[in-house]
Amino acid sequence: MSEDGKKLKKEQRQKSILETALELMSENGIDSTTMRGIAKAEGISETLLYRFFKNKNELLFAIFETKAVEIAYSIQELFETTKGMIPDPVETLPLICKLIRKRLDKNQKTFNLIIKERKTLRAIFDNEGGFQAILKDKIKIRTFVDLMNDIANNKSLTNYFQRCKDAGTLRADLDPAHCANLFLKIIWPTPMIGTKFALPFGHMPMDTQNQDVFETNMKILLYGLTPDEKR
């Protein structure tokens, strides 16, 4: 087998291990998931597993370096697209919402892990010499923390609502930043994981009952944002 072939096989195995570990950790929690259990579920020996990852924490870091960062980039990129959207909440907010929730649902296992392990992850993220240092070392352009800060600050959404206000499709007495924050909380609840940024701990699968509540909240939001003459 060529060197390229060996490398590809190694990368595929590493990706498969991460998927297996994510599934086990999201279902059982970090403490209840063992390296032996991961190896068994993956169908490989523990010895081989340790060749890829030294311990469970390294596996957890790798999951966030791939899955969580991928989600953050995806959401941030979506927010950036609001720059080209029609500045009208009634027309575009339902579309933005649909696209965001599609991305969140696609990564439900990652969110399940975050929800179950919030205390552990809070301690990790609050440790300046821990996870943040690893991320800053491996992510060359922007760190995960930077991305989450951007999302929490709602810069792109704030600009979108400012455009709506300038176009007369948003009530003149409303602050665009407040509107962005409220909209984000409705579609993506974000309790703080630490003192610096937020993570989507509140997102759960959109069943029929939750869908009805969500749609009602969106109707209330749109009614409150729309100027009287445009209702």
Cβ-based neighbour number of residue 158 at 10 Å:
19
Model confidence pLDDT, tens digit, residues 61-84: 788 778 777 777 777 777 788 888
d(CA 112, CA 97): 20
Fill in the DSSP letter of residue 82.
G
3-state secondary structure of 192: strand
Q: What share of the chain is helix, strand, coil (3-state, %, to 5)?
A: 75, 0, 25
Please give the helix or strand (H or E) that residue 52 lies within, else none.
helix 46-52
- Does pLDDT of 139 surpass 50? no
Mean pLDDT for the chain? 76
Query: Which of the two residues, 135 and 166, has the higher pLDDT score?
Result: 166
211 and 87 Cβ atoms separated by less than 8 Å: no
Q: Which residue, among 10, 225, 205, has the nearest Cα to 111 in the 3D structure?
A: 205
**Residue 161 reports pLDDT greater than 90:** yes
For residue 197, pLDDT beyond 60: no
The residue behind tokens 């792109």 is 156
How many helices (H) and strands (E) would you count in the chain?
A: 13, 0
> Looking at residue 40, what is its pLDDT?
95
**Is the pLDDT at 114 greater than 80, yes or no?**
no
Strand partners, 213: none
Give pLDDT, residue 169.
Answer: 96
Tens of pLDDT, residues 165-177: 999 999 999 999 9
Would the pTM count as exceeding 0.85? Answer: no
pLDDT above 50 for 15: yes
